[in-house]
Copies of this chain bind each other. A is one copy, B any other.
Amino acid sequence: MNETLEDVTTIFTDFLAKKNLRMTNQRNLILKMFLSTEKHVSSDDLYSLIRKQDNTIGQATVYRTLKLLAEAEIATIVEFGDGVARYEHIYLHQHHDHLICEGCNIHIEVVDDDIERLQVRLAKKYGFTLTSHKMYLYGKCEKCQNISSL
């Protein structure tokens, strides 16, 4: 996907309008900051980032806006199992899954077209139409394999 910030802002504004909600300065700033980050930010991460530009913004507003962004399908939730909801953007960033090293904790974004195809097939086998999926692969990276074999 190659949307610009303006495109995504329009998408969000339209989404809001459809629900009788308004595009505000706060929502605008939050969206802008969110899109400018790479990968997995928690609401709190984003709140800290935004405070640097505008320290009047409220924590709850960030929570609320991220929920809206997820509803608008501009953001998706990623859960790494520590009880914190993290978000990443879909627009400006295409779908991917996560490969995670249990040793050093690095996260690599991956996609395998064959798997993506088979997921649709698998869902269809049960009469489902697939709208999305999440896949997390856990293992050890090259470096950590060597360390643990010492």
Contacts and interface: CB of A to CB of B under 8 A. Distances in A.
Interface of A: 77, 79, 81, 83, 85, 99, 101-102, 108, 110, 112, 114-115, 118-119, 121-123, 126-142, 145
A81 to B, nearest CB: 6
The complex is assembled from copies of this chain, and their number is 2
A140 B108 CA distance: 29
A110 to B, nearest CB: 6
A129 B115 contact: no
30 contacts: A79-B81, A83-B83, A99-B122, A99-B126, A99-B128, A101-B128, A110-B122, A110-B126, A114-B118, A115-B118, A118-B118, A123-B139, A126-B141, A127-B142, A128-B137, A128-B140, A128-B141, A128-B142, A129-B140, A129-B145, A130-B137, A130-B139, A131-B139, A131-B140, A132-B138, A132-B139, A133-B135, A133-B136, A133-B138, A134-B138
